[in-house]
Chain A
Amino acid sequence: MSSTLEELTGERRGLVGMVSRISERFGGVSRRGFLVSAAVAGSALATDAKAYALRPQTAYATICGPGNTASSGWTVFCSTINKGVNSCPPGSFAAGWWKAADSSWCGRGYRYIVDCNASCSKCSTGCSGDHICDKGCWNCSCGTGSTATCDQRRICCNAFRYGQCNTQVKCSGGVHCRVVSCVPPYKWTNCTTTSLRDDRTSEHSAPSLPKWGPIAAKYKAMGEQGSWLKASTGPVRSVGDSKGTYVRYQGGAIYSTSSTGTRALTSWVLSQWNKEGGPKGHLGYPTSDKITGRPDGGWIQIFQRGALTDSASTSTQSVWGVRWTVWQKEGREGGRLGYPIGPKTDTANGWIQLFQNGAITDSTSTSTQSVWGIRYDMWARAGRERGGLGYPTGPLTALGDGAWQQKFQKGVIIDSTSSTTQVVYGASYSTWSSLKAHAGPLGFPTGARTSAAGGGWIQLFQRGAVCDSTSTYTNAVHGAMYTVWARVGREGGTLGYPTSAQGSDGRGSNQKFQKGELWALGSGTPRLVYGPVLEQWKAAGGAGGSYGYPLTDTVESGGRTTCQFEGGTISA
């Protein structure tokens, strides 16, 4: 049954009315026919609105151009019969070409049309004395285009050859179909430069071919079929977000918006981009073409909110969102972090993205930071975000005189010109920090936290140490106290682990250890008091008692220990 849209809906107002009036332009059509027609009308308006509006012609004629029926004698476009692909179908080959001037399909420039002739694949009879084999030998049979498209021209009927392409093929079948390009075919297929012309074919086309616009202009500038994009596989399509349009090609795609420009993507980049959600995903539209020649044989393609990138020693990865911002600040693929080596990965209370030389990471209680170089190596050795340092809380910071640090939730990685790069974390970090860190009496760390006697640990600094054991609390020993403590064997020696921080009583300073004490009168040398002498001194009131401060170290001799104090000598 055939009917117009008005008959189907009984309405002529608004959009339906407008569409109905358009449907009338096609005459009475079936429902399916209407939908095909409506799509063609839309394409016609987009392709050549002026011509469609002002000239008494059908939308079919606007899209497909003149002579679009089988009776016109012209040959169909390959895209119509080759699944949208604007290339010679299997069993045919480029056999000749001509150009047509002032084509709207090429921005009013020349349009190049290539005849794809069938191969004489079934036999070669007829080739003697002629360059066209008998029809029965052709790799296709004569027919016409589907009525679902306006390109209803002849398929594989015309025993004709233009003659400039693949001239080594002496005998061929007829013209299977036509390929089009805005770039001369001798630049992308095996054709000679001999130029022939037929301007009457300048507007011949098909709905499956991309109309002229920013995408076609870009494709032309790239060399069309001669570029890595190869042949188009469909018309200009809408992304569906009222912003973008695209055309797919055998080797990729071109996407375009007014704000991001017109950008080409390889098939590989396109597949990776689509995994990330394509134009509606977190990367958004491309804002650059693929940029090659990057370090390590790499490439990068930039999008609205990120990038896809790869190199000879990595795999293709995306960097987007805040990671993209940080990675750019760090110099991107040519910078400190290098190429990404993995995707954004969720971690406990946060996330991390790994790069060749570091990482960008964040958590619910920190801000986004990058960690690279030796800091990343040490952070990774320390268990990264799950280790003793936790997440980074700040960037690499200069401390003056060539020193630097990067702070983490539970520690720091730090270095100076007079020390090596070290990690300070946990209780060591807390104690060191309470003593003004590198600016305090301990100075910069000179070693990592290491296991020590009695199940304890110790970390050495320029002017002291922080240590702990199973039977003590974490304490720092620094300055003159550390000198003496180190002289008597540190945590494994006479005094054992410290059991208090360094204290003072107005006349001097002191520090208690597991097996003794150090007391320094004023700024004098700390004196060692331990064993029975310490017990008697303490029993007599210690430094505040009659003996006062020790003036010598406690020494052992003849089975007795002796120490001289301000108020006398204790020997026990």
Chain B
Amino acid sequence: MAVEKYGLRAAPPQGWRLSIDRRATPAGIVPDGVAPRLQGLAPESVEPNGEVMHPILHACTLDLPAQRGDFGSGVVDLLGSEDIFISLIEYGSDVADQGLFADQGMPRLAPSQFGPARLQRPLPGRSASQHFFSVGGRAFCLFTVIGSHSRRMGTVPRAAAVVRGFGVTDRRTMVRRGEMS
């Protein structure tokens, strides 16, 4: 089952739950330059106070609760030892290709990248990895949590396979389509 939204694509295996969403409120507006008919597809929405909502992709082997943090709060505490939670968070084009986001390309996950302390909120048994990078002029963070650090040799390759199925439409194409300014 492949899903594409806001220029993000994912095709997780059967049984995975997928969400590609943007926390825009009704008061949010898309930046100038986005085609009016495509405003619902624009990856950016600017709130009245200036905050910018970017798309967030969540993929998980468990049901995704409606109330969950962008980095998986409310989900990672439910993970069983074989479960996986993946969050792909966009940070915008203004910070892409530099500093924290200088690395290019979707990361390749490896068990060695995972550690019990790599979570916002470490929980017994859990293990995580975090990568900041840019793809096609768009900046992202890939955050992956597995239910058991001790079983990472088995779960991380599954997570890596899902991540390899992620796709990002580059900024230039989004602009050409009228979905980005």
Contact = CB atoms under 8 A, between A and B. Distances in A.
Interface of A: 67, 72-74, 98-99, 130-132, 154, 157-164, 167-170, 174-175, 184, 186-187, 192-201
Contact of A195 (B23, B102, B115): B23
Nearest to A201: B73
Contacts of B123: 73
Closest 8 CB pairs of A and B: A198-B69, A195-B51, A73-B121, A167-B100, A196-B70, A168-B99, A73-B122, A167-B99
Contacts of B47: 195
Given A73-B119, A167-B98, A170-B100, A198 B73 contact: yes
Contacts of B102: 170
A222 to B, nearest CB: 16
Interface in B11-40: 23
Nearest to A74: B121
B119 A195 contact: no
A224 to B, nearest CB: 14
A396 B119 CA distance: 77
Given A98-B69, A170-B102, A198-B69, A163 B91 contact: yes
Interface string B79-108: 000000000011110110011111000000
Contacts of A199: 67, 69
B92 A160 contact: no
Given A160-B117, A167-B100, A194-B51, 18 more contacts: A72-B121, A130-B113, A158-B117, A158-B119, A160-B120, A161-B130, A162-B120, A163-B89, A163-B141, A168-B99, A174-B117, A192-B52, A194-B52, A194-B91, A195-B47, A198-B120, A200-B74, A201-B73
A440 B45 CA distance: 86
B6 interface: no
Contacts of A162: 71, 120
Nearest to A72: B121
11 contacts: A73-B121, A160-B118, A160-B119, A161-B132, A163-B100, A167-B95, A169-B99, A193-B46, A193-B52, A194-B91, A198-B71
Nearest to A115: B120
A154 B119 CA distance: 12
A187 B49 CA distance: 10
B132 A195 contact: no
A167 B101 contact: yes
Contacts of B89: 163, 196
Contacts of B92: 192, 194
Contact of A197 (B70, B120, B121): B70
B95 A192 contact: yes
A169 B92 CA distance: 17
B51 A193 contact: yes
A184 B74 contact: no
Nearest to B24: A195
Contacts of A157: 117, 122
Contact of B99 (A170, A174, A193, A194): A170
A104 B46 CA distance: 25
Contacts of B90: 194
Nearest to A199: B67
B10 interface: no
Contact of B50 (A158, A170, A174, A193): A193
Contacts of A198: 69-71, 73, 120
Contacts of B50: 184, 186-187, 193
Given A167-B98, A195-B53, A200 B69 contact: yes
Nearest to B72: A198
Contact of A158 (B91, B101, B122, B131): B122
Contacts of A174: 117
A164 B130 contact: no
B54 interface: yes
Interface centre among B52, B73, B100, B141 (most CB of A within 10 A): B100
A497 to B, nearest CB: 87
A163 B119 CA distance: 13
A98 B69 CA distance: 9
A158 B121 contact: yes
A184 B113 CA distance: 32
A167 B91 CA distance: 11
Contacts of A130: 113
Nearest to B141: A163
Nearest to B140: A163
B99 to A, nearest CB: 4
Contacts of A196: 70-71, 89
